């Protein structure tokens, strides 16, 4: 027996000394961009030897024509940020394209050997969104420790959270390393979100001959922002009111941020995290013939738990501060919750899809509609679904610094868990008050129900901050709709109805900071009711006046568009097919023009087919950025109307409905 034990021990020691393979047998990863609805790429096995670290992949494509390749620049990255390059593939050559075949296929890729004892690592092919990235490849036995932060870091994070609602200016000092005018660009574009002040901001950043730009703009709270460079790459950042932020665009394509007062930039370490990767696999949420709610809920709970491990891994991997850790955690949770709420919204849309496919009364299947309706109701009202939503950090003010997650407010607000207004009775109001007052009271009642449901879901005696902000999301739109309704019905004192509605909404908010924001929204709305505004002195105005000089004494209707914008193209084609004279006719008082910065190779074929005879301009990107900054738009299609004396019309009519003989569309003092 002793001889047998001695032999086994010697064998183990010999294997260790000769570099016997180690492995991850139950491989997991935290985040990736390698799987979507049409493609699946996963690591299924990891083998460590003295000469190579060998990853076994499973690849499957649901599109027969689709193929992929593993590029030679792919590498592994350990927790010390050391890189281990790809050496070989066993089934194919590096860089060679291959298809998955029916049912998928497995293949192996060898890399330079990772250090002995490696427990977790990343796989990176490149920085762009189209490159493969799998973050946190590990064996199922590995569990990262929750990070510990110093008291000073925790105090700094709490101070930042308390200052989110401050107002002030943000100043940007920018430097483009190695810049010269021969590169044929002289502007970058700045997009920012000021959540309580008229939504989006769009500013052109003018780069001087030395590669510098500087700009200041007022905000009412933390902002999430992005600078879009000449290669259309997005560089996101956040800033507090009062910050002067130095931004350097380096030659290698990276960006560095620093604050002028010597403080650390809020996301100094966070910006090193690989972006374009996702915790949740959206393919898991595809609707099938039947909805298995338990399967979906099990999946989102699993991924939320795994996501927390992922954030703990990132914290140690990139030395995150306490603020960055909370920021990363909330961004991650929002991504998962948004995916789940999207799924619930898709479930709600099943009835619409079912009815929209019906082309005649005979095709209506009442039994099927009833069955689908009952299924939808069971999915959306299931207590377990509400419990998952209630686990969300809905009262954390850090959510206000989410530069890319604003869409979740919309998903949350209109989810049936919060927005079930079916029991409200509006019929009793019809004969007792004016139409405008009915509308105001209806909006107030719906918001009251929303906040009441918010308290039920989260088990609170006071609505969450998140619920209150969602309630405010449509405040400006509601004020505009209410004012239009009052003017259409020629109400005696529309301002008193608006003020009464605002006062009711502020009582619902019951929060000093949010009430101030509501007042700001109302003040901005009042200013927007001015029928015209004057063009400021800036480069955008100079560019616009050069174009307008071709149309003296005329109203000029401008359509900002692009070939790559589906709604833009649809609008132009619709106009071409139904009212071509409007876009090509020579009107005495009116001209319609089209402006884009598209490359000539895509612009010219489209122009010849759909804009022949129209006033169409293809201008440089720098000029287009200046015009976008002038009119503060970030999305297209976007329309403006300029009067003969050079004023901008505030209420622009729809392109299809504009009347060349009455461009502003005024009827009895009411501007449609």
pLDDT tens digit string along 246-294?
999 998 888 999 999 998 899 999 988 888 888 877 667 766 555 667 7
Return the H-helix or E-strand segment holding 237.
strand 234-239
Least confident of 27-31, 128-132, 454-458, 598-602: 128-132
At residue 318, the pLDDT reads 93
What confidence tens digit (pLDDT) does each residue in 512-548 have? 888 888 888 888 888 777 888 898 888 889 999 999 9
Residue 358: its pLDDT value, please?
65
Using 50, 70 and 90 to split pLDDT, how confident is the model at 671? very low
Rounded CA gap, 291 and 349, in Å? 13
> Rounded to 5 degrees, what are φ and ψ at 235?
-125, 105
Q: Could you tell me where the beta strands, DSSP code E, fall in 567-663?
A: 590-596, 615-618, 638-642, 647-649
The pLDDT of residue 18 is: 44
What is the model's pLDDT at position 196? Answer: 54
User: Where in the chain are the domains?
Assistant: 22-139, 157-266, 282-393, 418-529, 532-671
Q: Which of 49-53, 90-94, 128-132, 499-503 has the lowest mean pLDDT?
A: 128-132
- Examine the pLDDT at 6 and tell me if it is beyond 50: no
Q: How far apart are CA 55 and CA 90, in angstroms?
A: 11
Owner of token pair 């600078």: 227
Q: Which of the four pLDDT bands, split at 50, 70 and 90, describes residue 371?
A: confident
d(CA 618, CA 600): 8
User: Could you tell me how far CA 232 lies from the centroid of its own chain?
Assistant: 16
| pLDDT given for residue 616 in this prediction | 95
**What is the C-alpha separation between 512 and 495, in angstroms, rounded?**
23
Q: Buried b / exposed e across 604-640, counting CB within 10 Å, b at 16+? A: eebbeebbeebbbeebebbbbbbbbbbbebbebbbbb
Instruction: Tell me which CATH code domain 532-671 carries.
Output: 3.40.30.10
Confidence of residue 11 (pLDDT cuts 50, 70, 90): very low
The token duo for 42 is 């996963």
In CATH terms, is domain 22-139 a member of 3.30.70? Answer: no
Q: What is the mean pLDDT of residues 24-45?
A: 89
The pLDDT of 16-42, averaged and rounded, is 79
Q: What's the start-to-end Cα distance of the chain, in Å? A: 97
Mean pLDDT of 99-111: 91
Band of residue 19 on the pLDDT scale cut at 50, 70, 90: very low
Please state which of the ranges 372-376, 451-455, 589-593 shows the lowest mean pLDDT: 372-376
Pairwise pLDDT comparison (128 vs 471), residue with the higher score:
471
Domains 22-139 and 157-266 share a fold: yes
Instruction: Tell me the CATH number for domain 157-266.
Output: 2.60.40
Rounded to 5°, angle at Cα 270 from 264 and 271: 95
Please check the confidence at residue 15 and state whether its pLDDT lies above 60. Answer: no
For the stretch 489-498, pLDDT in tens is 888 888 888 9
Which structure tokens are listed for 602? Answer: 């895509």
pLDDT, residue 163, reads 77
Name the pTM for this structure.
Answer: 0.78
Give SS3 for 392: coil
pLDDT band, residue 21 (cuts 50/70/90)? low
Range name among 13-27, 576-590, 593-607 with the lowest pLDDT average: 13-27
pLDDT confidence of 150, banded at 50, 70, 90?
A: very high
Between residues 319 and 364, the one the model is more confident about: 319
Q: Which two tokens stand for residue 616?
A: 């169409």
- Asked if 555 contacts 589 with a C-beta cutoff of 8 angstroms, the reply is yes
Q: Give the pLDDT confidence score for residue 557 in this predicted structure.
A: 95
Candidate from 94-108, 183-197, 347-361, 535-549 with smallest mean pLDDT: 347-361
Region 456-463 average pLDDT: 91
From the list 85, 137, 131, the residue with the least C-alpha distance to 109 is 85
Which span out of 289-293, 323-327, 441-445 was modeled with the highest average pLDDT?
Answer: 323-327
Closest Cα to residue 263, out of 249, 236, 237, 244?
A: 244
**What pLDDT is recorded for position 672?**
42
pLDDT at 234 > cutoff 80: yes
What pLDDT digit, counting tens, does each position of 165-182 carry? Answer: 777 889 999 999 999 988
Q: Enumerate the H helices of 357-415 as residue ranges.
A: 366-381, 383-390, 407-413
Percent of the chain with pLDDT over 70: 89
pLDDT at residue 422 is higher than 90: no
Per-residue pLDDT for 644 more than 60?
Answer: yes
615: pLDDT confidence band, cut at 50, 70 and 90?
very high
Residue 550, pLDDT score: 95
- Report the pLDDT averaged over residues 52-67: 89
Q: Is it the case that residue 68 has pLDDT exceeding 60? A: yes
Task: Report whether the peptide linkage leading into residue 304 is cis, meaning its omega lies within 30 degrees of zero.
Answer: no
The whole-chain average pLDDT of the chain stands at 85
């Amino acid at each position: 027996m002793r001889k047998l034990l001695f032999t086994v021990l010697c064998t183990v020691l010999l294997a260790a000394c000769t570099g016997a393979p180690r492995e991850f047998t139950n491989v997991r990863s935290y985040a990736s961009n390698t799987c979507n609805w049409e493609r699946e790429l996963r690591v299924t096995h990891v083998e460590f030897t003295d000469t190579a670290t060998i990853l076994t992949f499973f690849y499957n494509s649901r599109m027969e024509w689709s193929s992929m390749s593993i590029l030679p620049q792919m590498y592994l990255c350990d927790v010390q940020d050391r890189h281990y390059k790809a050496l070989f593939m066993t089934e194919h050559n590096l860089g060679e394209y291959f298809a998955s075949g029916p049912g998928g296929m497995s293949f192996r890729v060898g890399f330079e050997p990772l250090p002995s004892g490696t427990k977790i690592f990343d796989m990176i092919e490149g920085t762009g969104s189209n490159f493969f990235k799998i973050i946190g490849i590990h064996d199922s036995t590995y569990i990262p420790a929750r990070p510990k932060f110093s008291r000073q870091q925790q105090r700094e994070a709490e101070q930042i959270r308390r200052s989110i609602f401050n107002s002030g200016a943000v100043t940007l000092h920018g430097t483009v390393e190695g810049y010269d005018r021969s590169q044929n660009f002289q502007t970058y574009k700045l997009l920012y979100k000021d959540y309580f002040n008229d939504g989006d901001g769009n500013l052109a950043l003018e780069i001087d001959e030395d590669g510098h730009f500087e700009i200041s703009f007022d905000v009412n709270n933390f902002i999430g922002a992005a600078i879009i460079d000449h290669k259309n790459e997005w560089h996101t950042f956040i800033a507090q009111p009062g910050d002067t932020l130095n931004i350097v665009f380096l030659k290698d394509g990276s960006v560095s941020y620093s604050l002028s007062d010597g403080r650390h930039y809020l996301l100094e370490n966070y910006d090193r995290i690989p972006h374009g990767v996702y915790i949740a696999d959206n393919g898991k949420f595809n609707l099938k013939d039947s909805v298995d709610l338990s399967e979906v809920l099990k999946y989102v709970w699993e991924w939320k738990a795994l996501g927390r491990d992922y954030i703990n891994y990132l914290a140690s991997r990139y030395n995150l501060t306490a603020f960055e850790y909370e920021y990363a955690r909330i961004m991650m949770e929002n991504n998962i919750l948004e995916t789940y709420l999207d799924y619930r919204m898709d479930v709600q849309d099943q009835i619409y899809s079912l009815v929209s496919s019906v082309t005649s009364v005979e095709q209506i299947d009442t039994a099927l509609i009833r069955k689908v309706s009952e299924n939808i109701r069971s999915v959306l009202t299931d207590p377990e679904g509400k419990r998952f939503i209630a686990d969300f950090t809905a009262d954390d003010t850090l959510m206000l610094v989410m530069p890319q997650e604003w869409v979740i407010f919309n998903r949350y607000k209109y989810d049936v868990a919060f927005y079930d207004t079916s029991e409200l009775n509006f019929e009793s109001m019809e004969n007792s008050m004016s139409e405008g007052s009915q509308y105001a009271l209806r909006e107030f009642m719906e918001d009251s129900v929303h906040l009441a449901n918010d308290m039920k879901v989260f088990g609170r005696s006071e609505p969450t901050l998140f619920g209150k902000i969602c309630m405010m999301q449509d405040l400006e739109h509601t004020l505009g709709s209410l004012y239009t309704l009052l003017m259409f019905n020629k109400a005696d004192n529309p301002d008193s109805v608006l003020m009464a509605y605002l006062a009711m909404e502020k009582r619902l908010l019951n929060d000093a900071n949010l009430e101030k924001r509501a007042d700001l929204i109302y003040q901005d709305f009042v200013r927007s009711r001015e029928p015209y505004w004057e063009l400021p002195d800036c480069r955008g105005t100079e560019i616009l006046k050069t174009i307008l000089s071709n149309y003296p004494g005329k109203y000029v209707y401008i359509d900002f568009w692009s070939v790559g914008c589906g709604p833009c193209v649809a609008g132009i084609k619709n106009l071409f097919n139904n009212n071509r004279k409007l876009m090509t006719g020579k009107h005495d008082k009116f001209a319609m023009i089209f402006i884009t910065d598209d490359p000539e190779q895509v612009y010219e074929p489209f122009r010849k087919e759909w804009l022949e005879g129209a006033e169409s301009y293809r201008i440089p990107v720098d000029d287009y950025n200046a015009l976008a900054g002038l009119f503060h738009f970030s999305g297209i299609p976007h329309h403006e109307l300029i009067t003969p004396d050079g004023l901008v019309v505030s209420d622009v009519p729809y392109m299809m409905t504009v009347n060349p003989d009455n461009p502003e569309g005024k009827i009895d003092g009411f501007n449609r």
